[in-house]
Structure 1
Amino acid sequence: MKVLILGATGFIGFPAAQALSRAGYFVYGQTRSSEKAKRLAADEIFPVICNPDSSSWHHLIPTLDVIIDTVGGDGHGPDASKAVFQGIEAAAKNLRPSGSPKLSYIFTSGTWVHGDQGWDILSDTTPVDSSGADSAPLVNWRPGVEQQVVKSQILNGIVVRPSLLYGRSGSIIGLMFDRVRKTGKVTWPARRVSGSTDGKDGGRMATIHQDDLADFYVRAAERAQVIGGLIFDVSNAYSDDTDGFLGRMCEVAGVKDGFEYYEPTNLFEKAITTQHIIRPYLARSLLGWEPKKPGLTDGLGLYWNAYLAHCVDV
């Protein structure tokens, strides 16, 4: 199997590229950086240096089995995400030999599309309406792109929605680690809750380790021809209590003054506070996928040490 990963040096893309290479597949990794291309080559991944929406790599499309988009529009918005998808659709239509199997395209979205659903239990097939969520401007375009992907007549479209990611350099959790390292304080944006004593609390977080997500991509790529048209939530089967997570962070980092919540200052921080209790089932039932890494709070000492080592390395 030949796989191309868009965003192959990112927090999601790099472990996915490594996992697919270790599984024995030929992996092409798109990156914008010549320096990062060396990192891909060292891991037996063929580097492709260009922007994700470039057509300079489209000559590979006739020979590829799967394309995995781990960029997902983040930092570039819906127009860039649609441009990548539509460019691949057009190239597949024009370049792949007649009678070829559909090229599989796995688009990375996120569980924020569920919005803040409080204590409702959600799954992969729960209908999505993020229009009323505080984070809606960040994600309300995603369901439309998701539907374009899974309903494509040219590509074999699949959507994956990871929840809040953790591990190694930390991703969004790493932003909190940065504040702890620089200020000696444990802080997190507050979630507004009616009925709580001060009108706010931390709620709960749906989370997934980057390695468990990478394992999902391997399984999805291997079975892509039989799971086309489906949307998968990829999340631990249990949620992390934010108060417990922050309390444990104080212990791990030696912060004596306890943790503090602060008012979100932008839409991104509001999005971080959205609560959705997710019990995904499609990846388990169709792909045999199960998360293996310790949860965020349970393994926090390990993840904090990994983050600190990453800071030394970079």
Structure 2
Amino acid sequence: MKVLVLGATGFIGFPAAQALARAGHMVYGMARTQAKAKILAAEEIIPVLGDVGSDAWMSLIATLDVILDTVGGPDQASLARTTFERATKAATELRPAGAPLLSYIYTSGTWVHGDSRTEIATDTTPIGRPVELVAWRPAIEQLVVRSTAVNGIVVRPALLYGRSASILAPLFKAASQGRVVWPGTPGGRYSMIHADDLADLYVRVAEKASLLGGKIFDAANANTESVDDLLQKLVQISGAKAPYEYRKPENCAWICLYTPRSPDAEEIQHSV
């Protein structure tokens, strides 16, 4: 299988590209610099030098089986739509007559479920009140899964952890400095997934993509984590000053990132 990973050097895309390569697939990865391209090549991922907004990857679409979109950044709302529309246009124009539909896996996030401590959300829960920061995502999800030009699939990661770029990194840094202070309020729970487990899910979805067109998957561990327990254990293990403290989130991004939610409603922006 030939797979192109957009955002292949990112926190989500890099483990996914590695996992696809380990599974025996031919993997292409977008890289914006020669230095990043060398990192991909060392992992047996074929680098495609250029930005996702360039034409560097367009010619590959004629023979690709899957595009995995893990692109992050500050302009995701417009970039996600533009990237998908460019891919579908190229697929329509470049793929031979009779070729199977190109599969397009779009990375969304579980914040689209909104913020609640009383309701459990799943991948079949209708979208009602998305978190403000990602209120644009449901429209992109529907654009992908309703497309007739490609075989569209959506994966919604929960809060990511693992490796070195986790959003929890500031928490561990604070503990190492002797004090655990975290935005939010007591009593919350986080739905989480390790970056490598998410990568494994992408492999499974890509390999079964022909059967999964139009589907949306929430990607999360089976169990949620108590934020209170997490902070308490961190104090004990790190030797930081007890007790841990909560503080009020300071802006929209912090509110979205750190307000504890219902068991299946937390994500990380993949620009991290």
Tell me the TM-score normalized by structure 2.
0.93
> Which segment is superposed worse, 139-148 or 163-172?
163-172
Asked if 1 retains the 8 angstrom alpha-carbon contact of 2:180 and 2:241, the reply is: no
Looking at both structures, which has the greater relative contact order when contacts are Cα pairs under 8 Å and sequence separation is at least 6?
2
Residue identity over aligned pairs, in percent, reads 52
Residue 277 in structure 1 maps to residue 263 in structure 2: yes
Question: Residue type matched to 1:113 in 2?
Answer: V
1:276 CA displacement: 2.1
- Offset of 1:170 from its aligned partner? 4.0
Shift of 1:29: 0.7
1:50 & 1:177 partners in 2: Cα distance? 34
Report the CA distance between 1:76 and its aligned residue.
1.7
Contact kept? 2:175, 2:235, Cα under 8 Å: no
Which of residues 230, 240, 243 is equivalent to 2:225?
A: 240
Where 1:278 maps in the other structure, the secondary structure is coil
Which of 199, 202, 221 is the equivalent residue of 2:206? 221
Matched, 1:160 2:155: yes
Length, aligned pairs only:
264
Distance 2:35 2:187 in 1: 39
Aligned mates of 1:184, 1:267 — CA distance in 2:
27
Q: CA deviation at 1:188?
A: 1.3
Contact 1:188 1:260 in 2 (8 A): yes
Q: Is 1:112–1:274's contact at 8 Å kept on the other side of the alignment?
A: no
Aligned residue number for residue 24 of structure 1: 24
Q: 1:63 to 1:53 in 2, by over 3 A?
A: same
User: 1:214 is aligned with what amino acid?
Assistant: A
Quick check: 2:184–2:260 contact (8 Å CA) kept in 1? no
Q: Which residue of 2 aligns with 1:185?
A: 179
The match for 1:127 is: 126
Paired residues for 1:134-213 under 5 Å? 135-136=131-132, 138-181=133-176, 183-191=177-185, 201-213=186-198
The two structures have a TM-score, normalised by structure 1, of 0.81
Q: How far did 1:122 drift? A: 1.7
Paired with 2:53 and 2:87, the residues of 1 have a C-alpha distance of 9
Unaligned runs of 5+ in 2: 266-272
1:185 and 1:255 in contact (8 A); partners too:
yes
> How far apart are the structure 2 equivalents of 1:186 and 1:139?
28
User: Contact between 2:7 and 2:69, CA under 8 Å: does it hold in 1?
Assistant: yes
CA gap of 1:178–1:32, structure 2 versus 1, over 3 A, is farther
| Counterparts of 1:9 and 1:227, CA distance in 2 | 26
113-122 or 230-239, larger mean C-alpha shift: 113-122
Quote the Cα distance in structure 2 between the aligned partners of 1:3 and 1:37: 16
**Which AA in structure 1 matches 2:41?**
A
Question: SS where residue 233 of structure 1 aligns?
Answer: strand
1:188 is matched by which residue type in structure 2?
W
Match of 1:98, SS state, is: coil
| Structure 1 residue 187 displacement after superposition | 1.6
Provide the residue aligned with 2:245 in structure 1: 260
* 1:251 and 2:250 aligned: no
